[in-house]
Amino acid sequence: MDKLVVHGDSSLTGPLTVGGSKNTALPLMAATLLGDGPSTITNVPDLRDVRTFSKVIRYGGPSVTFDPKAHTLSVDATALETPVAPYEMVKKMRASFYMLGALLGRCGRAKVSLPGGCAWGPRPVDLHIKGMRAFGADIELDEGYVHASTPPGGLEGGTFRLDPVSVGATINLLLAAVTARGPSKIENAAAEPDVVAFGRALQEMGAQIDGLGTRTLEVQGVDRLRSGTFRNTPDRIELGTFLLMAATASPPGTPVKIRKGTHEHLGPVFKDKLAATGVDVSYDDETVTVTRPDTLRPVSIETAPFPGFATDLQAQWTVLLGTTDGTATVTDTIYDDRFKHVPELQRLGMEIGVDGNTATVRGGTPLQGAKVMSTDLRASVSLVMAGMIAEGRTDVLRVYHLDRGYEALEDKLGAAGVSIHREAYDEFAEPERESVAE
Ligand code: UD1
C-alpha cells in the first residue's frame, strides 16, 4: 500500500494547476453509451475512479481507451451486449450506478448491483429507483441487484420530484429520460456545475433538455443521440481544495496562484465564507490568487446543495479553521456522519469535537506530525493539508482513497513548495520496538 509523507516545515508558494473534474468525467463517460458511435472526452483526469468506471463500461462490451498523459478518453459503445454492472465493480465506486440510466436508455434493460453504504454511512439510491419507475421502468430488486426493463419501445417518461436534492439521481434520471418516448420533468433537481456540464454534453449529442442549472429540468425524449467529442470541465473540488490549502499553509503575504479552474463553480457561499476569514482572494478568468493574512478569523459553514457550500469541501474547511484565532463550526446537512477525519485530526493535536452533524473547532493550537489513516477521499486530502501545517513529519496512510480523486497530488504540491513524497509500506508489518523516555 502507499502512503504520503508530508513535512510541515515547508510552505506552499504555488503555483498549482487544476485538472479535469472527476464528478463530471464519470457521468460524461456514462453518456457516451447513448451515442450512435465512438465518442471522445478530453481533459479527463488520470484517477482511480476513471479507471474503475472504464472497467465497468468495458464489462458490457464497449471498448474504452485512455491516454492518461493526453487526458483523453475514447469510448466505442457500438457493441454493448451485456447490460450488466456487477457487484464487484459497483462496490468499488458508487458512480457505477449511473449505468442504470445509461443501460436502460441504450438497451432497454439493465442489471446493476446496488452500491451499499460507504465509509460515512448509508447512501441510499431509492430516489434513482423511484424516479426510473415514475418514467415507466419495471424494476425489481433481487439478490442485491436492480433488474430493470422498459416497456417495448422504451421508457414513456414522466414527472418525478427529488426530495432531497440529489446529484446522483438527477444524473441517472437524465440518462434515462433523454431517449424516452415522451416528455419528462425532474423537480427539485440538482444544479451542481457537474450536472450542468453533463447536461450540456447531452444537449450536444442531440438531447432536448430545458432548465439546466435550475431546480426544474424538462426533457423531451429523442429517438437517437449522436456521438461526439466533449471537453470535461475543470474540477471545482480540486480548485476549492487548493484554495483552502493556500489559505491555510502559505506564507502570510505571499500570493499563491491557482491556474485553470473555473471559479464560478465554487459557488457564492464558499467565496463569501472565505472572504469573511480575511483571506485575500482575487478571481480572474483562469487564475485565482490567494494571499493569506497573518491571522484568520473563525467562520462557521453549513453544507448545502449548489449554490451552497459543497460537502466535498467541509473536511478541508475544518483544517483551515484549526489555523484561526477562535472557535467555529462545520455542519454537514448532506451527510450527517461525514466526520471520519476528525479523530485523525485529533491525533495531530487539533482541538475539535463532533456533536451530531456538527464539528466544532477551536483554532490556534499548533499541530504535531503523526501517523494518520485515510478513510475516504476528501478526509484523506484534509489530512495531507493538516500535515502541511503540523510540526515534523506526518504519514497519511491508505492513500488509495486520495488516488480516487486527486491526480498526482504529491507532484503538484511538491512543485509548489511542499515537502511531500509517496512511499510504499506494509500495512501489516510489526512495528519496530521502541523505548519510552525516562
Ligand atoms: C453528494 C453531493 C455531491 C458530492 C458527492 C460525493 C450534494 C447534493 N451532493 O452527491 O456534491 O460530490 O456527494 O461526496 O451535495 N439521497 C437519498 N436517496 C437517493 C439519493 C440521495 O436519500 O436515492 C440523499 C443522500 O443520502 C444525501 C442527499 O440525498 O443526503 C444528496 O445525495 P446525492 O446528491 O445523490 O449524493 P451524491 O450523488 O453522492
Residues 25, 233: Cα–Cα separation, whole Å: 8
Average pLDDT, integer, range 171-185: 97
User: How many other C-beta atoms lie within 10 A of the C-beta of residue 293?
Assistant: 13
For the chain, what percent of residues have pLDDT higher than 70? 98
β-pairing verdict for 183-187 and 216-220: antiparallel
Tell which one of 97, 166, 331, 341 to mutate to probe ligand 1, the residue whose CB is within 8 A of the most ligand atoms. 166
Q: Which cell is 344 given? A: 485523525
Please tell me the distance between residue 225's alpha carbon and the centre of ligand 1 in angstroms.
27
pLDDT at 232 over 90: yes
Nearest to 173 by CA among 49, 27, 278: 27
Q: Which of 96-100, 304-308, 334-338, 390-394 has the lowest mean pLDDT?
A: 334-338
Contact by Cβ (8 Å): 242, 16: yes
Q: Which residues line ligand 1 (CB under 6 A)?
A: 23, 123-128, 164-169, 190, 192, 305, 310-312, 334-335
Please tell me the distance between residue 334's alpha carbon and the centre of ligand 1 in angstroms.
7
| Options 80, 107, 114, 118, the catalytic residue | 118
Residue 292 has φ and ψ, to the nearest 5°, of -85, 135
Nearest to 75 by CA among 223, 270, 299, 229: 229
Q: Over the chain, what is the mean pLDDT? A: 95
Calculate helix-pair angle for 99-107, 167-177, nearest 10 degrees.
10
Which residue, judged by its Cα, is nearest atom 22 of ligand 1?
Answer: 124
β-pairing verdict for 393-397 and 371-373: parallel
Nearest to 247 by CA among 11, 405, 50, 46: 11
Nearest to 146 by CA among 169, 115, 177: 115
Which residue, judged by its Cα, is nearest atom 33 of ligand 1?
Answer: 166
Atom of ligand 1 nearest to the CA of 129: 23
- HEC states along 355-396? ECCEEEEECCCCCECCEEECCCHHHHHHHHHHHHHCECEEEE
Atom of ligand 1 nearest to the CA of 128: 23
How would residue 122 be classed by pLDDT, with cut points 50, 70 and 90? low
User: How many other C-beta atoms lie within 10 A of the C-beta of residue 76?
Assistant: 18
Tell which one of 47, 94, 100, 167 to mutate to probe ligand 1, the residue whose CB is within 8 A of the most ligand atoms. 167
Please tell me the distance between residue 123's alpha carbon and the centre of ligand 1 in angstroms.
7
pLDDT at 438 over 90: no
Average pLDDT, integer, range 176-201: 98
pLDDT digits (tens, 9 = 90+) for 2-20: 999 999 977 899 999 999 9
Atom of ligand 1 nearest to the CA of 125: 23
Please tell me the distance between residue 1's alpha carbon and the centre of ligand 1 in angstroms.
29
pLDDT digits (tens, 9 = 90+) for 259-303: 999 999 999 999 999 999 999 999 998 899 999 999 999 999 999
Strand order in the sheet with 183-187: 159-161, 183-187, 216-220, 208-210
The whole-number pLDDT of residue 46 equals: 97
Give the chain's domains with CATH numbers: 2-19+234-424 (3.65.10.10), 22-231 (3.65.10.10)
Does the annotation mark 107 as catalytic? Answer: no
How would residue 120 be classed by pLDDT, with cut points 50, 70 and 90? low
pLDDT at 162 over 90: yes
The whole-number pLDDT of residue 117 equals: 62
Residue 7 has φ and ψ, to the nearest 5°, of -110, 125
Please tell me the distance between residue 171's alpha carbon and the centre of ligand 1 in angstroms.
11
Which residue, judged by its Cα, is nearest atom 39 of ligand 1?
Answer: 168
Please tell me the distance between residue 115's alpha carbon and the centre of ligand 1 in angstroms.
13
Tell which one of 334, 338, 404 to mutate to probe ligand 1, the residue whose CB is within 8 A of the most ligand atoms. 334
The whole-number pLDDT of residue 116 equals: 66
CA 383, 386, 389: angle at the middle one, nearest 5? 155
Atom of ligand 1 nearest to the CA of 308: 15
